[in-house]
Amino acid sequence: MEVFLFYIAGFVSLTATMLVITRMNASHALIYLIISLLAIAVIFYLLGAPFAAALEIVIYAGAIMVLFLFVVMMLNLGRSSVDQEQHWFLPRMWVMPGILTTILLLEMIYLLVAPTSSAGISSSGTAVSPKEVGITLFGPYLITVELASILLLASLVGTYHLGRRYLRARREEIA
Amino acid sequence: MQSEFIMILPVLLGAMLGAAALVWWERRLLAFWQDRLGPNRLGPFGSLQIIADVVKLLTKDDWVPPFADRVVFTLAPLAIVAGMLMGFAVVPYGPGLHIIDLNVGLLFFLAMTSLAVYGVLLSGLASNNKYALLGGLRSAAQMVTYEVFMGLSLMGIVIQTGSFNLNDIVQAQEDMWFVVPQIVGFVIFLIAGIAETHRLPFDLPEAEHELTAGFHTEYSGMKFGLIMVGEYLAVILTSAIIVTLFFGGWLGPDFLPPIVWFSLKTAFFICFFILLRAALPRPRYDQLMSLGWKILLPLTLLNILITGAVLLAMEG
């Protein structure tokens, strides 16, 4: 049963991701990207990681994608950008990425069906509770968490700096 | 497992009927507080006004503007209602009375409310209208901002309980409601909850004096009805979560069954939401944003820090 659900969620996420790439309208592409992230959250849940699934929705689908959509709304892309996209997005652009992804797909199918495969899906995976995630994150992986937070702090300071320059220029303009 | 499936229908019915009843109840209460009568003609105390409203909405011309993005325009109101209804799945209504007992229940609630944002955003974007777009933009910024504190303000409770499970959180309030030790978290969650449901006084995405009707300017008929229902569902869900997290959920003295305690407490907070609408003026948009980032965010972080420190000191 869980294997079926896994394949359904996998199919949805793959199809949605394909549609993200091929849509000409930016807001439609974003909606498919959100669907793809939701499907990945379902996969996380099935593999016994409810905490990762919840965070996938809260952070990726619920916050980061909202910001993407925010930018799309700010730019207010209309008919003209769709035409432009159509002009840029030619069939011959497909060839190289197509070949490369087919190789990867074949490799993955081989890994799934190969008898000695260790990458097969096990529906007997044990569920990991939020507490265990926390203990692992702040135990053996503490340095990674700290490095990630330093990276975020750096980007925060950088963004603030860029904004400040803009604000100062504006203030001088007014004065 | 079986009993949990059976719960789906009553919860769904209860939430939808509650949302419908609120359409009338809100107008009556507002009228009471503003020294008016409100709808009082149809049925006892005007309660049949709901049916009249539904008939009106269903028989109205359901117009999709020719310049709108048809598919997204139609799906957006559904996303609002679906997201909110999903949130009801993790609320514990009584001992053992819940649809699903998730060990990440609190995060599930936050996830579903954050998905409901898309309904508002996409309806604003798909309407292809300047007022709707501005309303959608405002709600995007407002909701992303307030989602941050909404999640963080609850972390004090998670620290005290040691669990994201809503049933565990209710059980942990046997001796004392969390509103006492987590009063800061409660106030911040309440403010964030109002901003998330974009109810007055924080209804800037649809501020009618400057944006006509904001993100739902172009909506008519039952599509508009769905947006209204979504808003009332959000009010009920937020009240239910406030009760569960800060006011002991279904816990209460023995002379009333737990589900009655839960309903009474939830009804109290729904009325409180309506009172806020009657009593408070709308802030300016920049005031709303700077209140969030400059006051509420540091307060929330301080709350988490102090809760953690106190707990550590008590254990050590």
Q: CB under 8 Å to A48, separation ≥6 — which residues? A: A125, A126, A127, A128
Residue A125's pLDDT is 60
Q: Give how far the C-alpha of residue B76 lies from the chain's centroid of Cα atoms, to the nearest Å.
A: 18
Which chain A residue has the Cα nearest residue B146?
A: A63
The predicted model scores a pTM of: 0.84
* Residues of chain A found within 8 Å of residue B162, distances taken between Cβ atoms: 131
Rounded to 10 deg, the angle between the A26-46 and B70-87 helix axes is 30
Residue A30 lies inside a defined structural domain of this protein? yes
Structure tokens at B176: 């004392």
CATH code for the domain in which residue A103 is found: 1.20.120.1200
Measured CA to CA in angstroms, residue B139 lies from A52, B1, B147, B216 at distances of 27, 38, 11, 12
Residue A46 lies inside a defined structural domain of this protein? yes
Residue A132 lies inside a defined structural domain of this protein? no
DSSP for residue A125: P
* Residues of chain A found within 8 Å of residue B118, distances taken between Cβ atoms: 34, 66, 69
Domain co-membership, A6 together with A88: yes
Rounded to 10 deg, the angle between the B221-246 and B49-59 helix axes is 140
User: Which range of residues forms the domain containing residue A161?
Assistant: 138-175
Domain co-membership, A80 together with A158: no
In total, chain B counts a number of residues equal to 316
Residue A17 lies inside a defined structural domain of this protein? yes
Domain co-membership, A57 together with A16: yes
In total, chain A counts a number of residues equal to 175
Q: What is the mean pLDDT of chain B?
A: 83
Domain co-membership, A35 together with A89: yes
Considering only CA atoms, which of B70, B65, B186 is closest in space to residue B130? B65
Residue A111 lies inside a defined structural domain of this protein? yes
pLDDT 10s digits, A108-151: 787 777 665 454 455 456 777 788 888 888 888 899 999 999 99
**Residue B72 pLDDT grade (very low, low, confident, very high; cuts 50, 70, 90):** confident
**Total domains present in chain A:** 2
Domain co-membership, A66 together with A145: no
Residue A131 lies inside a defined structural domain of this protein? no
pLDDT 10s digits, B78-113: 888 888 888 888 888 878 777 878 788 888 888 888
- Least-confidence region, from A30-34, A129-133, B231-235: A129-133
Considering only CA atoms, which of B188, B88, B202 is closest in space to residue B148? B188
| ipTM of the complex as predicted | 0.78
Domain co-membership, A147 together with A97: no
**Residue B3 pLDDT grade (very low, low, confident, very high; cuts 50, 70, 90):** low
Contact status of A8 with chain B (Cβ, < 8 Å):
no
**Residue B208 pLDDT grade (very low, low, confident, very high; cuts 50, 70, 90):** low
Residue A169 lies inside a defined structural domain of this protein? yes
As a whole number of angstroms, the distance between CA B95 and CA B274 comes to 29
* Domain-terminating residue out of A101, A124, A147: A124
CA distance A57 to chain B (A): 6
Domain co-membership, A29 together with A106: yes
Domain co-membership, A148 together with A80: no
**Residue B207 pLDDT grade (very low, low, confident, very high; cuts 50, 70, 90):** low
Contact status of A73 with chain B (Cβ, < 8 Å):
yes
As a whole number of angstroms, the distance between CA A142 and CA A156 comes to 21
CB spacing of A51 vs B117 below 8 angstroms: no
| Side-chain-facing half-sphere of B140: CA atoms under 13 Å | 25
- Least-confidence region, from A118-127, B50-59, B219-228, B286-295: A118-127
Give the one of A31, A55, A66 whose C-beta lies nearest to B117's C-beta: A66
Domain co-membership, A169 together with A110: no
Q: Are B94 and B153 in contact (CB under 8 A)?
A: no
As a whole number of angstroms, the distance between CA B164 and CA B172 comes to 12
Residue A130 lies inside a defined structural domain of this protein? no
Q: Give how far the C-alpha of residue A95 lies from the chain's centroid of Cα atoms, to the nearest Å.
A: 24
Domain co-membership, A96 together with A168: no
Domain co-membership, A116 together with A146: no
